Structure 1
């Protein structure tokens, strides 16, 4: 996060994208802190110094509600914005005004929604796997999948944001839409 914060206020990056700054880096940092704290609470063996104990279930409940909030907000935004991401500008010949025309891609929208449904199924089952115990009873057992998914997502989030900051410096011949 130090590298992302330094990069976000770097003068060369500020010349290209004046909208980058410490606020965006702090928001990425806060999300990464949530991801790592959530990963620690998911530890099935409690070897990672888990912050949840049997006497302190309020932290686990808070992390669950924050996770649901982040998940529903991000998946809802991603699913609805990917379906209408192609925007075309055309000029009206009579009034000389710009009209915005949005082309809606139903197949891409539904593909994004299927991926969102898969992710929600994994979140709801706590990334566990069903195991048959005593007779015909299934129990969902926890594993390290959610721990590593959340840790890797925190790394990927930082790297992706860092790339959005430095890409205009590296790929100078491309238009990134900055004003």
Structure 2
């Protein structure tokens, strides 16, 4: 779908018809694509697994950028100019709720997953998440940044969720692992939780796929009436990367060992992928906060040098 639609630009083109219609043919292609892997050689499946690791990482990065763009839009919508006091109060109230939830999540993770001193890795994960939370709040309130608490509160809740998800993915080999209690029997809650996560990832994939403008370097292009509403090629590219991400979830990012029964997205590979994802998310968000200040400082320095050289 990506290869056949990435050049589509007009609503009256053949690419738009292929993207929006021909559902019977697409259903046949879907059935064929499900059946073909059973007849492929193992070496090909292994090769695709290696490629899927890279694609899944790209998907996580695209999803992070899309989430941060949404948080920025939400902050601009609910925390406008000071004259709109009602909307400002709503944003302040919402940011307070997000920060309270983040703090409660940190305390709860300490209580459930880091109660013993031997749980050094969990203590490090949770403590570093708390430090990132504080750093984001301080930078957001800095006089030169002045971005308010709403966006940082939402981002704080997001990274706390990523930390919790990473700890939940730890294998059942230690007393600190939350999977230890469910290792001996079929944990239906893991399956239900995974299905909920699948639905949320699908929704995130849709929103990221139609949000191609967030990933454009130039956003001054004028939209015409016969232009497609979003980039079809980018939409299918995101879905192909999302499919690779699902493949990694089902095998816990491990190509060398079979996944155990009732063990969905569990393993050290899954844990570290989520933790690194959390750190990258916080880094991108912090850069978006300080980048306008850095650019403004560079412009002021350049203007000062020009005036200095022109002065007699």
The TM-score, its normalising length taken from structure 1, stands at: 0.68
Matched, 1:106 2:239: no
**2:167, 2:271 within 8 Å by CA — same for their partners in 1?**
yes
Q: 1:135 is matched with which residue? A: none
- CA offset digits 1:152-179 (Å, max 9, x no partner): 11111111111110000112279xxxxx
**2:212, 2:230 within 8 Å by CA — same for their partners in 1?**
no
**1:9, 1:21 within 8 Å by CA — same for their partners in 2?**
yes
Residues 48 and 160 of structure 1, relative CA distance in 2, 3 Å threshold: farther
Q: 1:13 is matched with which residue? A: 145
The structure richer in strand per residue is: 1
User: How much is the aligned-residue C-alpha RMSD, in angstroms?
Assistant: 3.5
Q: 1:42 is matched with which residue? A: 169
Residues 21 and 50 of structure 1, relative CA distance in 2, 3 Å threshold: farther
Cα distance in 2, alignment partners of residues 23 and 161 from structure 1: 13
Residues 125 and 80 of structure 1, relative CA distance in 2, 3 Å threshold: farther
Cα distance in 2, alignment partners of residues 78 and 108 from structure 1: 9
- CA offset digits 1:115-169 (Å, max 9, x no partner): 12211222233334364xxxxxxx4255311100000111111111111100001
- CA offset digits 1:92-135 (Å, max 9, x no partner): xxxxxxx8x7674333332222112211222233334364xxxx
Q: Secondary structure at the match of 2:248?
A: helix
Q: 2:259 is matched with which residue? A: 140
Quick one: which of 178, 181, 189 aligns to 1:51?
178
Q: 1:78 is matched with which residue? A: 208
Matched, 1:3 2:3: no
Matched, 1:24 2:151: yes
Matched, 1:125 2:258: no
Quick one: which of 239, 256, 276 aligns to 1:152?
276
Q: Tell me, which stretches of 5 or more residues in structure 2 are unaligned? A: 1-132, 261-265, 300-312
Residues 90 and 148 of structure 1, relative CA distance in 2, 3 Å threshold: closer
Aligned residues: 155
Cα distance in 1, alignment partners of residues 162 and 175 from structure 2: 14
- CA offset digits 1:22-58 (Å, max 9, x no partner): 1211211111111111111111144371234229x58
Runs of 4+ residues over 6 Å off in structure 1: none
1:87 offset after TM fit, Å?
A: 6.1
Residues 103 and 87 of structure 1, relative CA distance in 2, 3 Å threshold: farther
**2:210, 2:230 within 8 Å by CA — same for their partners in 1?**
no
Cα distance in 2, alignment partners of residues 26 and 2 from structure 1: 10
Q: Secondary structure at the match of 1:51?
A: coil
The TM-score, its normalising length taken from structure 2, stands at: 0.42
- CA offset digits 1:64-103 (Å, max 9, x no partner): 3553354223222111212796563479xxxxxxx8x767
Larger Rg: 2
**1:87, 1:103 within 8 Å by CA — same for their partners in 2?**
no
